[in-house]
Amino acid sequence: MRAIGTWFKGYLLQFIVLVIVLASMYAFYPRFHVESSIERIMPLGVVAAGLAVTMIAGEFDLSIASMAAFSGALTIVLSPIGLVPALIISIIVGTALGALQGWAIAKLGINSLVFTIGTLILFRGLTWVVTNGVSVRVSDVTATDVFRDKIGFLTPLSLTGILIFIALGIFLAYTRWGREIYALGGARNEAIAAGVRYKRGMIVAFAISGGLGAVAGGMTSALGGSASPTAFGSLLLGALAVVLVGGISLAGGRGTMVNVFLGFAIIAILSAGLSAMGAKAFVAELFTGVLLLVVLVFDYLIGAIAENDRKKKLRKIATSEA
Partner 1 sequence: MTTTETISVGFQNRAGTRSLINFLRNWALPILVVLLFVLSIFLVPKFAELTTIRAIFLQASLIGIAAVGMTALTLSGNMFSLGVTPTVILGAMVYIWVGEGTTSMWLGAAAAIIVVVILGIIQGFIVSLGLNAVIVTLAVGSVIYGVTAIVTKGALVEPSEKVDLAGFATFDIFGIPLPIVVFIVFTALAWFLTEHTLIGRNVHLLGANKETARNSGISPRATTVWAFIAMSLGFGIAAVIASAQIHSVQADQLPNLTLDTVAAVLVGGTAVTGGDGSPIKSAIGALFIATIAQIMVLTSVPDGLKQLILGIVVVALVVILHVLRKAGSR
Q: Which is nearer to partner 1, 14 or 127 (CB)?
A: 127
C-alpha 64/C-alpha 253 separation (Å) is 20
Q: Work out which of 118, 148, 163, 173 binds partner 1, going by CB under 8 A.
A: 118
Residue 125 in the binding site for partner 1 (CB under 8 A): yes
Instruction: Name which of 164 and 248 has its Cβ closer to partner 1.
Output: 248
Per the CB < 8 A criterion, the answer to whether 222 and 144 are in contact is yes
Contact 55, 172 (CB under 8 A): no
Q: Does 77 bind partner 1 (CB under 8 A)?
A: no
Query: Which backbone phi and psi does 247 adopt, to 5 degrees?
Result: 100, 25
Single residue of 23, 114, 170, 302 touching partner 1 by CB under 8 A:
114
Give the number of other CB atoms < 10 A from CB of residue 254. 15
Q: Residue 137's beta-bridge partner residues?
A: 226
258 lines the binding site for partner 1 (CB under 8 A): no
Residue 171: φ, ψ to 5°: -60, -45
| By CB under 8 A, residue 287 contacts partner 1 | yes
**Which one of residues 120, 168, 172, 227 is an interface residue with partner 1 (CB under 8 A)?**
120
Closest distance to partner 1 from the beta carbon of 236 (Å): 8
* Interface positions, 295-314, toward partner 1 (CB under 8 A): 296-297, 300
Pick 115 or 206: Cβ nearer partner 1: 115
Strands 136-137 and 226-227: what pairing?
Answer: antiparallel
- For residue 93, state whether it binds partner 1 (rule: CB under 8 A): no
198 makes contact with partner 1 (CB under 8 A): no
Residues 17/266, Cβ–Cβ less than 8 Å: yes
x/- binding map, residues 94-113, to partner 1, per CB under 8 A? ----------x---xxxx-x
Which residues, 6 or more positions from 185, have their beta carbon under 8 angstroms from its beta carbon? 55, 56, 57, 58, 59, 251, 252, 253, 254
261 binds partner 1 (CB under 8 A): no
Alpha-carbon distance values, 35 to 158, 250, 269 (Å): 9, 29, 9
Round to whole Å and give the CA distance between 9 and 70: 40
Nearer to partner 1, 153 or 282 (CB): 282
Q: Which of 6, 108, 96, 105 is nearest to 54 (CA)?
A: 105
Q: Can you give the binding site for partner 1, defined by CB under 8 A?
A: 60, 104, 108-111, 113-115, 117-133, 229, 234, 236-237, 240, 244, 250, 280, 282-283, 285-290, 292-293, 296-297, 300
